[in-house]
A = this chain, B = another copy of it.
Amino acid sequence: MARVLTPRTEDYPRWYQDVIAKAQLAENGPVRGTMVIRPTGYALWERMQAELDSRIKAAGAENAYFPLFIPEAYLTREAEHVEGFSPELAVVTHAGGKQLAEPVVVRPTSETVIGESMAKWVSSYRDLPLLLNQWANVVRWELRPRVFLRTSEFLWQEGHTAHATEADARAYARKILHETYEDFMVNVLAIPVVVGRKTAAERFAGGTNTLTLEAMTGDGKALQMGTSHELGQNFARAFDISYSSAAGTVEHAWTTSWGVSTRMLGGLIMCHGDDQGLRVPPRLAPIQAYVMVVKDGDGVREAATKLRDALRDAGVRVALDDRVETPFGRRAVDAELKGYPVRVEVGPRDLADGNAVVVRRRDGGKTPTPVADVVGAVRAALDADQQALYDEATAFRESRTTEVATLAEAIEAAAEGWVRVPWSAVGEAGEAKANQSAVSVRC
C-alpha cells in the first residue's frame, strides 16, 4: 500500500501538515497566516464547542457578543496590554470609502472592549460577579504561521468576569481552569494536561497571574492548550469598572479572563495521531462508529443500514458509508486518516457467517462479531478506547519526563521531552538562560 503520510519519526512537522491535508481538516487561506477549516475539521471544533459551552454555562457564565473592531485608543489604556499586543495588531484605516478619523484595530482579545461595557453594567456589589463569555474570531498577525497552532485569525471562546474581591476572582479563574478546561481536556479530549502557572516573563499582557494547561505532543514538546488569567485590578482601573460596596465605599472590581481556541485541534492531532492519521477520542468524535458496506452482496446494504439504525438508537453518533463505487481500500484509508474510533465493516463473506467486523482505530484490532452483538461491542470499544488513549498519552508523557536537580541538567534533558526541576534551581535568571536554549519554563 502506498505511503499516505510522512512517518512521524522521519519528519514530525511534515507528518502534522500531512494529517491536516489528507484528513481534509483545514488548509491555508489566501491571506497569509489565515486558515480555511474544512467540514471534517469544523465538526471536531463544533463538538469541542458543545462540550465546553455546557461546562461554561454550568460555571454560571452567560454568552454575549462584543464588537470585532476596537478603538485604537482603548488598547493603550493598559500599558502592558498594548505593549504585548501591538506587534500583532491588524488595523483598519479605511472604511465606507473613506479614511477613518481614528483607526480601529481588529480584536486580538477583548479585555478592553468588554471592560468598557462592564464599567457601564456594574455599579453595585449586587451586580457582581459579572460572568461573561463569547465565542468569536480574533486576529493576531503571525509571521511564522502553522495551521491550528499559530494562525493570524483563529476561533476561540474568551471568558471575562468581574468580582468584588481578589479572592473571588482568584477562585473563579481556578474554577474555570479545573472544572471547565481540565475536565474537558482530560475526560473528553483524553489528554493528560499538566496544570501550572506561567512565569512572570510569559504571563498575559496586563495580567497578574496566568494559569496554563499544557499537553505533551508526540515529539515530546509542550503545547499550551488553554489559559486562565487573573487580571488584578489593572483593567478595572483602566476602564473604571467600579462598584459601591455594601459598606458604601466605591471599589474597583477584580477581573479575570480565560480562553481556549482552535489551537486545541492541533493539540488533538499531535497528542493522539499516529502514522495512519488522526485518532479521535470517542467522547469527542462527531462520528463514533462508521458503518461501511464493503461491497454489495446478498442483504449487505440492508444489514449495514440496520446496524446504523441500531447504533443510532443506542445513542452512538454513527454514519453509513455505502459508496461501493469507490474502492473499499481507499475508503478504509480515509476512515483511518479521519480517525473514526470504530469501523463496522459489513461485507458478503462475513455476513454469510452472520458476522460484521468491528475495527478499532486505536490499535487497529479487527474482531469478527455476530451482527446481534455489534452494538454492545461498539459501545464497549468506545468506552475502552477513550480510556486507552488517555493512558497511552499519560505513559508517553511519563516516559519523556525526566527528574533533574540543576538547570544545566534540565536544559540538556529538555531536548528529549519535559523536565521536572525545582524552581529554586531555576529562578528568573535561570529562566532567561533556559529560554536562550529554546526551553520554556512553567512553575
Contacts and interface: CB of A to CB of B under 8 A. Distances in A.
Interface of A: 27, 29-31, 34-39, 42-43, 45-46, 62-71, 74, 86-97, 103-104, 106, 113, 116-117, 120, 132, 136-137, 139, 141-143, 152-153, 155
A141 B96 contact: yes
A403 B277 CA distance: 64
A65 B91 contact: no
Given A90-B92, A95-B90, A113 B30 contact: yes
B106 A92 contact: yes
27 contacts: A29-B66, A29-B67, A30-B67, A30-B70, A30-B71, A31-B67, A34-B69, A36-B64, A38-B64, A39-B63, A39-B64, A39-B132, A42-B62, A42-B63, A42-B64, A43-B62, A67-B153, A69-B90, A69-B139, A69-B153, A89-B94, A89-B96, A91-B92, A91-B93, A91-B94, A94-B103, A137-B137
B74 A30 contact: yes
A115 to B, nearest CB: 11
A153 to B, nearest CB: 5
Nearest to A136: B137
A31 B65 CA distance: 14
A137 B106 contact: no
Contact of A97 (B71, B74, B87, B106): B87
A57 to B, nearest CB: 10
A31 B70 contact: yes
Contacts of A34: 67-69
Contacts of A103: 94
Nearest to A31: B69
B37 A65 contact: yes
B94 A90 contact: yes
A113 B28 CA distance: 12
Most chain B beta-carbon contacts within 10 A, residue among A34, A68, A87: A68
A51 to B, nearest CB: 16
Contacts of A62: 39, 42-43
Contacts of A89: 94-97
A93 B93 contact: yes
Given A88-B96, A94-B90, A96-B88, A66 B153 contact: no
A106 B106 contact: yes
Nearest to A153: B68
A23 to B, nearest CB: 14
A89 B97 CA distance: 7
Contact of A43 (B29, B63, B71): B63
A330 to B, nearest CB: 13
Q: Which 9 A-B pairs have the closest CB atoms?
A: A96-B141, A34-B67, A39-B62, A29-B67, A37-B65, A90-B95, A91-B94, A31-B69, A95-B141
Contacts of A137: 68, 136-137
Contacts of A142: 96
A243 B328 CA distance: 24
Given A36-B66, A46-B63, A65-B42, A93 B96 contact: no
A30 B152 CA distance: 24
A124 B250 CA distance: 68
A30 to B, nearest CB: 5
A120 B94 CA distance: 31
A121 to B, nearest CB: 8
A71 B62 CA distance: 35
Nearest to A102: B31
